[in-house]
């Protein structure tokens, strides 16, 4: 279970200390987003359904309790909303302090990261509602299409791991290239899944089920988009090294001012 979200009503002694306090809560928000995506993966790959069927205590179960699942996701999304609101107010209050240009930029970076994390949790809730609709309407996905969702979800999960590991340190240009390649793989996989779904439609598959499936993969892919947007912000945490010419100009300016 998640702990109670808390940020002090007053800022710390310095902007840097206040940013460190915010960083801790942003890490908690990343944990929440990953938890929600892991839970949604269990739903869209139907692992929970299979586990229910295999359990001797629920031998007659044919599916997960989707009402309970939706209740869980809504509670977590409400928590994410409160974190988003609280962190946004806290970070904006830091901008009222005497900040260097670099510190102000770091505050803005964190504001954008928090916004993308909240978008990510929104997508997870949307996935849960799609699966609930599938259950309520008694729609069935093609078994091969369900199997294909597992590696698709794994690609997104790996991207979330990549972001989480670098959240507090930023990423360099080479790592941003890796992030771009990860997003490209997710996009390519989404296109293949959509193409296959359209092929099934052309061959007479259930229209409602296939359209719901296409909507599902769209929301999964959007989580990858959010992850890449965060990667771009993490790249901005690490200043570009100055060129030799710029270093020379800075030194000349310093000498002339003395």
Per-position DSSP letters for 20-76, written without gaps between them: HHHHHHHHHHHHHHHHHHHHHHHHHTTHHHHHHHH-GGGTT--S--HHHHHHHHHHH
- Name the pTM for this structure: 0.84
Question: Tens digit of pLDDT for each residue in 200-209?
Answer: 999 999 999 9
Q: What is the pLDDT of residue 17?
A: 85
Q: What is the pLDDT of residue 245?
A: 41
Angle at 128 between CA 209 and CA 213, to 5 degrees: 25
CA distances from 180 to 109, 110, 231, 241 (A): 19, 20, 9, 21
Q: What is the pLDDT of residue 60?
A: 38
Q: Tell me how far apart the alpha carbons of residues 174 and 178 are, in angstroms, rounded to a whole number.
A: 7
Q: Tell me how far apart the alpha carbons of residues 203 and 125 are, in angstroms, rounded to a whole number.
A: 31
Q: What is the pLDDT of residue 239?
A: 76
Q: What is the pLDDT of residue 253?
A: 46
Domain residue spans of the chain? 15-242
* CATH code reported for the domain at 15-242: 1.20.58.220
Residues 6+ apart with CB under 8 A from 43: 64, 69, 127, 128, 131
User: Digits of tens for pLDDT over the chain (258 positions)?
Assistant: 555 555 655 666 678 888 888 899 999 999 999 999 999 999 988 653 444 344 444 333 445 789 999 999 999 999 999 999 999 999 999 988 888 899 999 999 999 999 999 999 999 999 999 999 999 999 999 999 999 999 999 999 999 999 999 999 999 999 999 999 999 999 999 999 999 999 999 999 999 999 999 999 999 999 999 999 999 999 998 876 654 444 434 554 444 444
Under 8 Å between Cβ of 128 and 136: no
Going by the DSSP 8-state scheme, the letter that residue 183 receives in this structure is H
Under 8 Å between Cβ of 95 and 40: no
Q: What is the pLDDT of residue 11?
A: 64
Q: What is the pLDDT of residue 52?
A: 39
Q: Tokens for 128, please give them.
A: 């849960």
Question: Tens digit of pLDDT for each residue in 54-85?
Answer: 444 433 344 578 999 999 999 999 999 999 99
């Amino acid at each position: 279970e998640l702990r109670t979200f808390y940020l002090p009503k007053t800022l710390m002694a310095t902007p840097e200390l206040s940013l460190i306090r915010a960083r801790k809560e942003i890490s908690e928000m990343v944990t929440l987003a990953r938890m929600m995506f892991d839970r949604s993966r269990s739903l869209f790959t139907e692992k929970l359904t299979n586990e229910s069927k295999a359990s001797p205590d629920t031998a007659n179960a044919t599916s997960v309790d989707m009402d309970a699942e939706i209740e869980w996701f809504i509670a977590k999304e409400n928590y994410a909303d409160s974190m988003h609101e609280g962190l946004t107010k806290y970070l904006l209050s830091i901008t009222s302090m005497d900040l260097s240009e670099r510190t102000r930029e770091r505050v803005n970076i964190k504001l954008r990261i928090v916004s993308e994390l909240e978008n990510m949790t929104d997508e997870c809730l949307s996935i849960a509602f799609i699966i609930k609709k599938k259950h309520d309407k008694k729609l069935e996905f093609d078994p091969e299409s369900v199997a294909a969702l597992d590696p698709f979800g794994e690609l997104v999960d790996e991207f979330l791991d990549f972001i989480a590991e670098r959240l507090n340190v930023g990423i360099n240009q080479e790592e941003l290239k890796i992030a771009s390649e990860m997003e490209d793989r997710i996009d390519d996989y989404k296109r293949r899944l959509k193409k296959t779904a359209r092929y099934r439609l052309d061959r007479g598959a259930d229209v409602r089920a296939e359209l719901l499936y296409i909507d599902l993969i769209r929301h999964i892919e959007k989580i990858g988009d959010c992850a890449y947007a965060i990667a771009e912000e993490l790249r901005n945490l690490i200043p570009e090294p100055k060129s030799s010419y710029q270093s020379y100009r800075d030194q000349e300016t310093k000498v002339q001012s003395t």
